[in-house]
Amino acid sequence: MHNNYYFLRQLSKSLETTLTGTVISECFSQNKDELVIRFETHTEPFFIKASLDPSFTCLSFPGDFSRARKNSVDLFGDMIGHRVAGIRQFENERSFAILLSDDKSLLFKMHGNRSNIILFEKDIPAQLFRNNIPADITLRLNALDRTIDWSYESFLQHRTKLQSLYFTFGKIIWKSLATKNFEALSPEQQWQEIQTIKQQLENPVYFISQADNILALSLIQYGHTLKEFRDPVKATNEFFYTYTQQAAFIREKASTLSLLRNKLQGSEAYYQKTFDKLTEVESDNHYKVWADLVMAYMHEIKPGTEKVTLPDFYHENKPVEIKLKKDIPPQKNAEVFYRKAKNQHIEIQRLQEVLEAKEKEIENLKQQLHEFETIGELKTLRKTISSKGLSDEKEKQSAPLPFHEFEMSGFKIWVGRNAQNNDILTFKYGFKEDLWLHAKDVAGSHVLIKYQSGKNYPKDVIERAAQLAAYNSKRKTETLCPVIVTPKKFVRKRKGDPAGAVVVEREEVILVEPPKQL
């Protein structure tokens, strides 16, 4: 009910006492959906902070506000220096206006996700804070007042649609009446309940309540009462602080739990993959068997033999076929098999060590998950996140890489996201051995094929990277696209060049057909 007509009526009455005679000295925004207005009083400045995020709109009144040096924009310059003449609360409407000198008015339209702040010249909107609600430019102050017929006759006439008749009550009021089995009451009893509610709203106490896991500022007792106020300014300040703290707690806890669950899922998948590999290696001891058989039957194996079938005395003399290297003698073949068997043993030991470490990691992640699931307040949550070193991981996750990654035949192909990221990709993430591609003579993404030591770039990988360069360029709709291909060491940037612009000192050009889709 913090945007309810009955609350705004009390709030605007309190603000009129505080603001009448003050002068607006600043009006600025530091966030997309936040507006801060500073009023100069005889003693200390008074601030209104309007948070108009579509998911949560609320007014608050901080005792002090430090304006940031950067990312701060002055707004509503036409009202700076104007004196407040009073405040007008519109009848049965979730809006009020601060009346200024020279027939200017600043309207606070508190309509949930359609909330806005509008500067009026006389009765005509001159400026909108949220320009994405163009219908607000048609508003007229003198048309905002609404009427409600509070007579008993009107009540009887509209008994089947009372929520439309008493539209100012809001959800909490009707939920409260529902808990009293309002629909089953007689007309006289219903009328009495309506009068009781109306009287409470006329002379309210302000409750910060929790009901169905939702925090609310209410003018009646509803759900579990956390705090109680007589002053609407103090009530909305505390509600805003509590709500934002709770929202931050829910958001950060969910993010942390998601991070841990993803890590746990990845660790468990890695553990299973490693376990399967260990099982495979442990069960595959044929190199040791082959070596023993070759040594045992060496006298029967002729030099230069590529394939030999010998009785396996480990398995009831069943014949086993063994492939040999014909250019080395049987004894050397046996040595090769023994070396491979030794390497298998080393790999088994390594896999066992990896599994042991992963088991500890998985157990630790499960303990952390349980610990975070039981945390109930923001301060403890942030302290625990910091102590576990998770804050750095979340920051790394939240910062997207400046490129899209593709893979083909074991080679990584990176494609720049935009002009600025093209520079970062090429000159921060690129190395001189990488292969650099770009659609010729048009704007487009830089593309890198990452170098792999000792491997040549396969032709099909180069063609795929060229298609990506063509697709992410101005030539994507053409039949054929020429694409520059060159080692990254031949790409440089001149001082003063715009983002993404480079000089290619040596190049080859190939023609590819841009793909219809990736």
Query: Do 260 and 346 fall into the same domain?
Result: yes
The pLDDT of residue 394 is 60
Query: Do 394 and 407 fall into the same domain?
Result: no
Assign residue 64 the CATH number of its domain: 2.30.310.10
The pLDDT of residue 124 is 93
By C-alpha distance, which of 63, 51, 134, 120 is closest to 90?
A: 120
The pLDDT of residue 206 is 92
Per-residue b/e over 34-48, b at no fewer than 16 CB within 10 Å?
ebbbbbeeeeeebbb
Read out DSSP for 280-348?
HHHH--HHHHHHHHHHHTGGGSPTT-SEEEEEETTTTTEEEEEE--TTS-HHHHHHHHHHHHHHHHHHH
Task: Tell me the pTM.
Answer: 0.62
Assign residue 352 the CATH number of its domain: 1.10.287
243 inside domain: no
Query: Do 442 and 476 fall into the same domain?
Result: yes
By C-alpha distance, which of 8, 219, 17 is closest to 93?
A: 8
- Ranges under pLDDT 50 in the chain: none
Decide: helix, strand or coil at residue 412. Answer: strand
Counting the structural domains of the chain, the total is 4
On the 0-12 / 13-18 / 19+ scale of CB atoms within 10 A, 282 is: middle
Query: Do 180 and 221 fall into the same domain?
Result: yes
CA distance 418 to 446: 9
246 inside domain: no
410 inside domain: yes
Read out DSSP for 56-109?
EEEEE--S-----SSS-EE--GGGTTPBEEEEEEPTTSSEEEEEESTTEEEEEE
Query: Do 78 and 91 fall into the same domain?
Result: yes
Query: Do 351 and 408 fall into the same domain?
Result: no
pLDDT in tens, 127-182: 999 999 999 999 999 999 999 999 999 999 999 999 999 999 988 898 989 988 99
Query: Do 50 and 138 fall into the same domain?
Result: yes
Query: Do 455 and 480 fall into the same domain?
Result: yes
How far is CA 48 from each of CA 3, 383, 427, rounded to the nearest angstrom?
A: 15, 31, 46
Query: Which residues constitute the domain of residue 184?
Result: 163-230
CA distance 136 to 410: 56
> Would you say how long the chain is, in residues?
518
20 inside domain: yes
pLDDT in tens, 257-296: 999 999 899 999 999 998 988 888 777 778 888 888 889 9
Query: Last residue of a domain, which of 366, 398, 430?
Result: 398
Query: Do 215 and 312 fall into the same domain?
Result: no
Query: Last residue of a domain, which of 111, 143, 175?
Result: 143
349 inside domain: yes
Query: Do 409 and 343 fall into the same domain?
Result: no
151 inside domain: no
The pLDDT of residue 399 is 59
457 inside domain: yes
Query: Do 264 and 389 fall into the same domain?
Result: yes
CA distance 97 to 25: 18
Query: Do 32 and 103 fall into the same domain?
Result: yes
188 inside domain: yes
Other Cβ atoms within 10 Å of 197 Cβ, number: 19
Query: Last residue of a domain, which of 78, 112, 143?
Result: 143
